Amino acid sequence: MEAAHGGSSGPVRFERMKIGGADALLAPRPGTGLLALAAIIRRGSADEREGEHGLASFTASMLLRGTQRRSSEQIAFDLESLGAIAGEGDGMDTCSLNVRCSAEAAPRALEILFESLREPAFDAREHEVHRQELLAHLRMIEDEKFSYTYREYVKAMFTGHGYGHASEGELADAERITPADCRRWHAEMIRPETLLIAAVGDFEVGALRDLLAGLLADWPVNDGPVRPRIATQPPADHPRELELRKPELNQGFIVGGFRTPPITDPDYAALRLGSAALGEGFAGRIFTELREKRSLAYALGATLRSYRLTGHQVLYIGTKPESIEEARAGLLREADYLKHNLLSDEELNRAREYVLGKFVMGQQSHAQRVSHLAWWEDAAGDAAEGWRYPERLRGVTAAQVREAARKWWVEPTMAVLRPEAG
Amino acid sequence: MIRQHHTTHRHTLGCGMPLLLLENHEAAVATADIWVRTGAADEPEDLSGISHFLEHMLFKGTEKWGLGEIERAIESVGGVSNAGTSYDFTHYYVTLPAARIRTGIEMLAEMVRHSTLDAAELEKERLVILEEYRRKQDNPIGVLYELLYGELFEAGPYHLPVIGSEETIRAIDRPAMLDYYHRRYGPEGAVLVVAGDIEPERAIEWAEAAFAGFDRRREELTRRHPVRYGRGKRVHERKPTGGEVYVAYAFPAPGMQATEEVLPLDMAQFILGSGRAARLHQELKEKRGLCSSISSYYPTHAHDSLFVFVATCQPGQREGLREALLEELRRFAAEPPTPPAMKRARRLLASSHLFSMETSSGAASNIGYYYTLSGSTEFFDSYLEKLEALTAEQVSAATARVIHPERLEESLVEISVGPNGELKGEG
């Protein structure tokens, strides 16, 4: 082993506390001069009811579009004049407002961020501007093969469940949502009780806690109950085959996958290594067998996607139209290989070190560390689970990978995009 | 003022190749990134795409490592590797747990010094690159940029796409690639950057050992032609999309060699089209609803470059968007940016600069990029300091020299990709 110089590869140390009714994880990083913070609303598109699709995402996107005191332009101008980069996020399980800025600018940037979170105006004109932006975004998804095919695949994979709707909704959802819908969602879902604040940066914990307590004080929420999160697992696996067509394509695209359990499941660590062995990096089986040996594709691989209640093992490949069947069979053959064969010591070690390396690399920036804390806290119920994750990975055997693959990679759901005939 | 926390240290290896080092001990991660000053701009026309093809082939085995062994060796110690080819450079990078960075340095040295460029592997990789080519042809943004460079740079080093054409990808053979590799990959035209949780003395020691005896003489290739810019054009490529039209409006602009122009134009780019409060975003998208997105970019090439605005809109919005953009640019050139506009752009640019240095790969990429294009670390190391001293008049004057407000339409090249539609004055 070569000597490292002393940078941290250990867990992100944080302090957990309640601030103004919200959960908070504060991780000081003295001397960096920077801060990243996310205000995570623990309600997402999976929590939408019938007739509400797209509402969590639409509402989150409206938060930085004006408050009672500042216009949308003023918010953007004030934040950017501090050198702060702010944005909103949407997802199946959560939505968020987040900011990165210098430590010096943090008090003023956070004041604007929390004003936006607490007091959005949901102005009718701004609503229309965002609607047009969203409609364009949805049209543009059609132009990118992976995004389009993946989106349709996910809907098929989780049909009949909250995870079976794209978080940003469909064109008809974007046309339907009104400012009143957003106001109602905000009142019901965006409250201190649903909030998780994760912050990493150059701050003193007590000072940031006091600052946040002031920003969260006297939140004007309604007195009604907070709507609970979705709690049921998606229905049992029911594989589907989707045939998608687009005109004038030079290349087809395949996205397929298998249902997998959430990260709290005992099989998760084995499946994580299975995914890496199958198709992550340039030495995974899919890359080696389908690209390096058979030259079938440039873009291909595997990834394990996880939500709070479930997950799925994704396989993908883009290839010329005449190779689509060969590529589809190749993806499934490689998955099958892992179900029927033990990984060699070399393959298992490569997969393990690859995942551990990505884990460390994924915690370099302040924003990456914030995401890490928030993800483990929400998905595993405790951010400290992230500390134990490397140990879980180190304990996985080749037999466990095979057994987990056999158990979970049962029948695939596949979406295949082809050029329109003629 | 947002302050710069980093300083790059320079060392010249025994073989003559510069080694740039940047320490950052926040995380136990390090990146080794080797930049070779050769790319699509250096290629003869019949070998268009050879730099990119060679980039793929350098992962296909060396005298010491067989096919796939490089990637396996790196990933087996927790690392990732990749590469990128542009007009003025090709670079190869490895990010690893810091304790393993020596492995990364050794691998990069093997790749640039001892690749075998195996004939059978070359034929297989040709098919992979053709798939990459097809992928690009299906993407409206890929098509937009290919057309933009083809039309704005009518002749010269930036005219042809980095990936090449289907014809040249099919035609490039091993003798041509070996010749190109041996003529272009030498210590003179390369720089190694090592950034992250490193001990500089150890990194120097490992790099010296890995590159000892690297004495290949690099030959300068004759550039195809000097740049000849296209002007006053409107070109539309019909392509079915989900409904949006992708539009680029570009002006000829100085490259990195005109160092004093780069920072003012970076600022102009941020004032006009970077961030939610940027002028064009606010005026054209938010207030007037003329497009669904608009941003500006200033990709600094080594010698000649472009200043470009990229937008998406509905087919019926194209004419109004163009007129409004031209009107905004005339106003911008006529009046220096206000102090609040300067403050916003300065702070945002400084923050973006610092955030891009948070990861070892981001830091190595920034340092390597600017060194390769400018030939020194001075531009990058003094970036924030110079940013503070920049005046609104300098920004305005540099912008006027690019957009030529008195003959704006004649300077502009407009490219659009999307569903069919009539263009006024299409030429």
pLDDT per residue as tens digits for the range B234-248: 999 999 999 999 999
Q: Does A324 touch chain B (CB under 8 A)?
A: no
- Per-residue tokens: B388: 């503070």
Subunit contact A6:B23, Cβ cutoff 8 A:
no
Q: Does B205 touch chain A (CB under 8 A)?
A: no
Determine the CATH number of domain A15-216: 3.30.830.10
- Chain A residues in contact with B358 by the CB 8 A cut-off are 34, 364-366
State the nearest Cα–Cα gap between B226 and chain A, in angstroms.
33
pLDDT per residue as tens digits for the range B45-74: 999 999 999 999 999 999 999 999 999 999
pLDDT per residue as tens digits for the range A322-344: 999 999 999 999 999 999 999 99
Rg for chain A, CA atoms, rounded: 23
Instruction: Tell me which H or E stretch contains B83.
Output: strand B80-85
Q: Does A137 touch chain B (CB under 8 A)?
A: yes
The shortest CB-CB distance from A7 to any of B28, B129, B352 is to: B28
Q: Does B170 touch chain A (CB under 8 A)?
A: no
State the nearest Cα–Cα gap between B364 and chain A, in angstroms.
14
From the candidates B343, B358, B416, B417, which should be mutated to test the interface with A, based on the most A CB atoms within 10 A? B358
Q: Does A1 touch chain B (CB under 8 A)?
A: yes
Subunit contact A350:B72, Cβ cutoff 8 A:
yes
Say whether A241-419 and A15-216 share the same fold.
yes
Residue of chain B with shortest Cα separation from A137: B292
Q: Mapping DSSP to helix (H, G, I), strand (E, B) and coil, where does residue A174 land?
A: helix
- Chain B residues in contact with A320 by the CB 8 A cut-off are 130-131, 134
Please give the Cα distance from A350 to B53 (Å, whole number).
27
Q: Mapping DSSP to helix (H, G, I), strand (E, B) and coil, where does residue A116 land?
A: helix
ipTM of this model?
Answer: 0.94
Subunit contact B359:A249, Cβ cutoff 8 A:
no
The shortest CB-CB distance from A5 to any of B132, B197, B275 is to: B197
Please give the Cα distance from B208 to B12 (Å, whole number).
9
The DSSP result for B347-383, as a single string, is: HHHHHHHHHTTSSHHHHHHHHHHHHHHHSSSHHHHTH
Q: Which of A302, A232, A308 is nearest to A263 (CA)?
A: A308
Please state the rounded mean pLDDT for residues A233-262: 92
Residue of chain B with shortest Cα separation from A201: B26
pLDDT per residue as tens digits for the range A126-164: 999 999 999 999 999 999 999 999 999 999 999 989 999
Q: Does B426 touch chain A (CB under 8 A)?
A: no
Sign of the C-alpha dihedral computed for residues B154, B155, B160 and B162 taken in this order? negative
Q: Does A129 touch chain B (CB under 8 A)?
A: yes
From the candidates B6, B60, B72, which should be mutated to test the interface with A, based on the most A CB atoms within 10 A? B72
| 3-state per-residue secondary structure call for A223-252 | CCCCCCCCCCCCCCCCCCEEEEEECCCCCE
In the predicted model, is pLDDT for residue B224 greater than 60?
no
A164-200: b (≥16 Cβ within 10 Å) or e = bbbbbbeeebbebbebebbebbbebbbbbebbbbbbb
Q: Which of A165, A159, A46, A53 is nearest to A413 (CA)?
A: A159
* Residue A129, C-beta contacts closer than 8 angstroms, at least 6 positions apart: A65, A72, B285, B286, B289
State the nearest Cα–Cα gap between A378 and chain B, in angstroms.
24
State the nearest Cα–Cα gap between A171 and chain B, in angstroms.
11
- Per-residue tokens: A253: 């695209």
- Chain B residues in contact with A136 by the CB 8 A cut-off are 244, 292-293, 312
Helix axes A398-408, A324-340, angle to 10 degrees: 130
State the nearest Cα–Cα gap between B195 and chain A, in angstroms.
12
The pair phi, psi for residue A243, each rounded to 5°, is -110, 120
Evaluate whether A353 touches B100 at the Cβ level (below 8 Å): no
Fold of A241-419: Cytochrome Bc1 Complex; Chain A, domain 1 (3.30.830)
* Residue A174, C-beta contacts closer than 8 angstroms, at least 6 positions apart: A54, A58, A131, A134, A135, A138, A168
The A residues from 239 to 258 touching B (CB cutoff 8 Å) are: 246-251
pLDDT per residue as tens digits for the range B170-204: 999 999 999 999 999 999 989 999 999 999 999 99
Please give the Cα distance from B270 to B361 (Å, whole number).
24
Subunit contact A140:B242, Cβ cutoff 8 A:
yes
- Chain B residues in contact with A354 by the CB 8 A cut-off are 75-76, 78, 80
Pairing between β-strand B233-238 and β-strand B413-418 as defined by DSSP bridges: parallel
Evaluate whether A80 touches B342 at the Cβ level (below 8 Å): no
> What is the per-residue pLDDT for A235?
81
Evaluate whether B253 touches B413 at the Cβ level (below 8 Å): no
- B425 confidence band (pLDDT: 50, 70, 90): very low
The shortest CB-CB distance from B134 to any of A282, A320, A358 is to: A320
Q: Which residues pair with A200 in a beta bridge?
A: A27, A36
Please give the Cα distance from B178 to A82 (Å, whole number).
52
Q: Does B88 touch chain A (CB under 8 A)?
A: no
- Per-residue tokens: B227: 């740049």
- Chain A residues in contact with B68 by the CB 8 A cut-off are 282-283, 288, 292
> What is the per-residue pLDDT for A6?
56
* Residue B341, C-beta contacts closer than 8 angstroms, at least 6 positions apart: B271, B279
pLDDT per residue as tens digits for the range B70-105: 999 999 999 999 999 999 999 999 999 999 999 999
- Per-residue tokens: A25: 């994880």
Report the alpha-carbon angle B141-B147-B149, nearest 5.
105
In the predicted model, is pLDDT for residue B225 greater than 70?
no
Please give the Cα distance from B359 to B2 (Å, whole number).
18
In the predicted model, is pLDDT for residue A393 greater than 80?
yes
The shortest CB-CB distance from B100 to any of A2, A133, A350 is to: A2
Q: Does B213 touch chain A (CB under 8 A)?
A: no
State the nearest Cα–Cα gap between A366 and chain B, in angstroms.
8
Please give the Cα distance from B211 to B190 (Å, whole number).
12
Subunit contact A143:B139, Cβ cutoff 8 A:
yes
- Chain B residues in contact with A251 by the CB 8 A cut-off are 131, 134-135, 138
- B426 confidence band (pLDDT: 50, 70, 90): very low
- A421 confidence band (pLDDT: 50, 70, 90): confident
Please state the rounded mean pLDDT for residues A384-406: 95
Please state the rounded mean pLDDT for residues B150-156: 94
**Domains, chain B, ordered by start:** 9-211 (3.30.830.10), 231-418 (3.30.830.10)
- Chain A residues in contact with B146 by the CB 8 A cut-off are none
How many CA atoms lie less than 13 Å away from A170 in the CB half-sphere? 7
Subunit contact A360:B28, Cβ cutoff 8 A:
yes
From the candidates B31, B58, B118, B355, which should be mutated to test the interface with A, based on the most A CB atoms within 10 A? B355
Q: Does B138 touch chain A (CB under 8 A)?
A: yes
The DSSP result for B85-97, as a single string, is: E-SS-EEEEEEEE
Subunit contact A248:B240, Cβ cutoff 8 A:
yes
Instruction: Tell me which H or E stretch contains B296.
Output: strand B293-297
Residue of chain A with shortest Cα separation from B125: A295
Subunit contact A353:B275, Cβ cutoff 8 A:
no
Subunit contact B242:A142, Cβ cutoff 8 A:
yes
Please give the Cα distance from B182 to B376 (Å, whole number).
25
The full set of domain ranges for chain A reads: 15-216, 241-419
In the predicted model, is pLDDT for residue A238 greater than 80?
no
From the candidates B286, B287, B342, B365, which should be mutated to test the interface with A, based on the most A CB atoms within 10 A? B286
The DSSP result for A27-61, as a single string, is: EE-TTS-EEEEEEEES--GGGPPTT-TTHHHHHHH
Q: Does A101 touch chain B (CB under 8 A)?
A: yes
Residue of chain A with shortest Cα separation from B26: A7
Evaluate whether A302 touches A315 at the Cβ level (below 8 Å): yes
Instruction: Give the least confident one: A14-23, B3-12, B56-65.
Output: B3-12
Helix, strand and coil content of chain A, in percent to the nearest 5, comes to 45, 20, 35
Pairing between β-strand A241-246 and β-strand A95-102 as defined by DSSP bridges: unpaired
Q: Does A371 touch chain B (CB under 8 A)?
A: no
Subunit contact A360:B97, Cβ cutoff 8 A:
yes
- Chain B residues in contact with A247 by the CB 8 A cut-off are 240
In the predicted model, is pLDDT for residue B350 greater than 80?
yes
Please state the rounded mean pLDDT for residues B135-145: 97
State the nearest Cα–Cα gap between A334 and chain B, in angstroms.
17
Pairing between β-strand A195-201 and β-strand A252-260 as defined by DSSP bridges: unpaired
> What is the per-residue pLDDT for A221?
62
